[in-house]
Amino acid sequence: MNEQMALEPIGKNEYELFFGPAHPGSGNFSVKLKVDGERIISARADPGYLHRGFEKLMEYRLPIQNAVLSDRICIFEALNWNLIHAEAVDELMGIEIPERAKYIRVIMAELSRIQSHIIWYGVFSIGTGFDTGFKMAFGYRDYILDLFEMITGGRVYPTGYICPGGVRRDIPEGSEEKILGVLNKIDEMVKLEMMGNPALLSRVKDIGILKLSDAIRLGATGPVLRASGMKSDVRKNDPYEVYDRFDFEVPVSNEGDAYARYMIGIEEIKQSISIIKQALKELPDGDFVAKEFKKPKLNIKIPEGEVYVRNEISRGEAGMYMVSDGGTTPYRVKIRGPSFLHMIPVLEFLLRGSQIADVPAIYWSLNICPADLDR
Amino acid sequence: MRDLESENELLEDISARFDTDGWVQRERRVWVKVSKENLISMCKYLKETGFEHLSAISVTDWLKDGEFELTYHLWSYERKTLLTIKTRIDRENPIAPSVSPIWSRNAQVHEREMHEMFGVEFEGNDDLAPLFLEDWQGPPPFRKDFDWREYARKEYYNKDNEREAVYYE
């Protein structure tokens, strides 16, 4: 294990062990483990290393500023969080989004989902000692970052590309061929992932089994819930943008172990590729931003009201509860990140009774992001 | 857009049972208001009727009304509807019953966060230890009357330091 450890003897064979918060090992997060020999008796999550108070910050800022701020909620899924913020403001203001903007939003959100799933594969590999997977994943992810740079101007942070009213710029000419070219590369990557490295498989099969009843009880969503046997996807059950027009499958598995969760991720990359291809084929002409937002206005009043927006991001269900009292800034914003429940109740539950050596496999199989936990 | 038959049906059912106000916002979005006394019995009923997933718990600080508004966002996998329960509690004496016996550790950790950020006490929650903030001595930071600029000036800047004096101008 490549973690920095702090040993504290409790009983004869019992001691306390820190997993994390070294960035390459666990991200900005740590778990306090109580261990008897090699077996974990109890685990307590210790979040807060990335707490930036976004919910409070947004109360002081205009929607045009919050669009940029929303990038930072999760480093790996900046565009998805952009989209959630934009949808919340759109719904409060009752703006009609042009068709073309909706399609561009879907294409960007799905590209972002693919690159997030690739990172998942990368960190899952390095967590279990398979370095090749990590390097491969980050290599292939760069093709998508090139697309982001071309379309939004930023590689990782799009600085509010998906903004209230639509998107900030139209996609440049010739993007379609480039996106399709990158998707072919990703296909290649998926084939490599599917080969199944025996060293990796031996460490993740039958590890960290989460039963369906426990998954629901602890509030798991997204790939974690689907790997435990529940066919549930916000894009299908609570459709937003134009997801109801596309034909795609929701992968489900009944095993509920670390391996099943990771396979769900790979299947989802394939489905996302198919969604992007359909969206590119049907991409309509027209405006990319609503009339009201053609020229960016600073002091727009958000009408009084409240909305709860849900999206399916790569880690699970993301939500934003926005309340406005009629001012120019939101009165209250609550951000619901999927990792909040995956990293506290689900992780603590799965670690109890497992072995020290299995901690990284369980931890990374949950597709977690400390940034959207802490906010 | 389809008609909102199932949403209206749900709202009618809840209103008849608990004598509450509510409205259907759009498809798959229903909002209801409930008193603090009826909160637990309503939550129990909803959990039994399929609202198994507690998506989030949030608090809104209505400073001018002197009240905290607690919102519980529930999702039903069967009905495919998001129901938000809103309940108001006194701001001076912010005590609410815990829903952690109903939604287990999920509710427990959401309440723990809201306790830390707004100072709301959840009766029946077994663990309200600090979650994100380490060694925090100030008031609950997400309250509307907490002036973070003033707090930072007082706690972290030195007026006599030439470079930090600008924060006092």
For B82-136, write each residue's pLDDT tens digit. Answer: 999 999 998 888 999 999 889 888 899 999 999 999 989 898 888 888 888 888 8
Task: Please give the pLDDT value at position A4.
Answer: 46
Which of B10-15's residues contact partners 24+ apart within 8 Å by CB, and which partners? B10/B79, B10/B81, B10/B83, B14/B42, B14/B46
Helix axes A131-152, A175-194, angle to 10 degrees: 170
Q: Give the chain A residue nearest B63 (alpha carbons).
A: A331
CA distance B63 to chain A (A): 11
pLDDT digits 0-9 by tens, A55-71: 998 998 888 889 899 98
Distance from CA of B165 to the nearest CA of A (A): 24
From CA A317, how far away is CA A369, in angstroms rounded? Answer: 13
The set of residues, in sequence order, having a beta carbon less than 8 Å from that of A75 and lying 6+ positions away, is A156, A369, A371
Contact A216 B60 (CB under 8 A): no
Contact at CB, B106 and A217, closer than 8 angstroms: yes
ipTM above 0.90, yes or no: no
Cα–Cα separations (whole angstroms), residue A113 to A21, A147, A238, A296, A313: 26, 14, 18, 28, 7
Contact state of B132 with A345 under an 8 Å Cβ cutoff: no
Decide if A310 touches B, using CB distance below 8 A.
yes
Supply the pLDDT for residue A27. 76
Which tokens belong to A288? 């990319």
Please name the residue of chain A whose CA is at the shortest distance from the CA of residue B84: A308
**Where do the H-state alpha helices sit in chain A?**
23-26, 54-59, 63-69, 78-93, 99-127, 131-152, 175-194, 198-204, 212-217, 222-227, 234-237, 258-282, 339-341, 347-351, 359-365, 370-374
Amino acid identity at A77: E
Of the pLDDT bands very low, low, confident and very high (cuts 50, 70, 90), residue A109 is: very high
Give A228's contacts in chain B (Cβ within 8 Å).
Answer: none
Chain B residues whose CB is inside 8 A of the A214 CB are none
Neighbours of A330 (CB within 10 A): 26
Question: Which of these ranges, A297-301, B106-110, B141-145, has the smallest mean pLDDT?
Answer: A297-301
Over residues A140-162, the mean pLDDT reads 90
Residues from chain B contacting residue A307 (CB–CB below 8 Å): 25
Please name the member of A48, A232, A307 whose beta carbon is closest to the beta carbon of B132. A48
Contacts of residue A340 in chain B, CB cutoff 8 Å?
Answer: 109-110, 113
Mind telling me how many Å the CA of A300 is from chain B's nearest CA?
Answer: 22
* Residues B86 and B34 sit within 8 Å (Cβ to Cβ): yes
Question: Across the interface, do B109 and A47 touch by the CB < 8 Å criterion?
Answer: no
Task: Kindly report which listed range (A61-75, A147-161, A198-212, A297-311) carries the lowest average pLDDT score.
Answer: A198-212
Identify the pLDDT of residue A143. Answer: 92
Measure in Å the smallest separation between the Cα of A221 and chain B Cα atoms. 9
* B26 burial via Cβ count (<10 Å: 0-12, 13-18, 19+): exposed
Query: Given this model, what pLDDT does residue A115 score?
Result: 92
Task: List the domains of chain B with CATH numbers.
Answer: 5-130 (3.30.460.80), 137-169 (no CATH)
Q: Cβ of A217 and B109 within 8 Å?
A: no
B3 vs A156: CA distance, rounded Å? 41
Residues of chain A contacting residue B56, judged by C-beta atoms under 8 Å apart: 319, 321, 334, 336
Chain-chain contact of B141 with A319 (C-beta, under 8 angstroms): no
Residue A6 is predicted with a pLDDT of 52
Closest partner CB to B56 (pick from A47, A48, A336): A336
Question: By the 8 A CB rule, do A113 and A308 touch?
Answer: no
pLDDT (tens digit per residue) in B63-88? 888 899 999 999 998 888 899 999 99
Nearest Cα of chain B lies from the Cα of A111 at a distance, in angstroms, of: 25
Residue A361 and residue A98: Cα distance in Å, rounded?
44
The C-alpha atoms of residue A289 and residue B86 are separated, in whole angstroms, by 34
Please give the mean pLDDT across all residues of chain A.
Answer: 86
Q: Do residues B148 and B138 touch, judged by C-beta distance below 8 A?
A: no
**Mean pLDDT (whole number) for A212-222:** 89
Q: Is A276 on the interface with B (CB under 8 A)?
A: no
- Kindly state the percentage of chain A with pLDDT values over 70: 96
Is B60's CB within 8 Å of A332's CB? yes
Considering only alpha carbons, which residue of chain B is nearest residue A344? B109
Residue A1 pLDDT greater than 50, yes or no: no
Whether B47 and B23 have beta carbons less than 8 Å apart is answered as no
Count of pairs with CB atoms under 8 A, one residue in A, one in B: 83
Q: Which residues of A are less than 8 Å from B61 in CB distance?
A: 332
CA A255 to chain centre: 22
Q: What's the pTM value of the predicted model, to 2 decimals?
A: 0.87
Contact A341 B56 (CB under 8 A): no
**Confidence band of A320 (pLDDT split at 50, 70, 90):** very high
The pLDDT confidence band at residue A176, using thresholds 50, 70 and 90, is: confident
Residue from B82, B132, B133 to probe the interface with A (highest A Cβ count within 10 Å): B132
Using CA atoms, how far apart are residues A120 and A113, in angstroms rounded to an integer? 10
Chain B residues near residue A221 by CB distance under 8 angstroms? 53
Which domains occur in chain A, in start order? 63-333+359-374 (1.10.645.10)
A336–B73 C-beta distance less than 8 A: yes
Contact at CB, A238 and B61, closer than 8 angstroms: no
A279 has pLDDT over 60: yes
Nearest to A323 among B60, B77, B131 (CB): B60
Distance to chain B for A210, nearest Cα, Å: 15
Q: How many CB atoms lie within 10 A of CB B114?
A: 25
Pairwise CB contact (< 8 Å): A218 & B104 = yes
The predicted pLDDT at position A2 comes to 41
Determine contact: A217 vs chain B, CB below 8 A.
Answer: yes
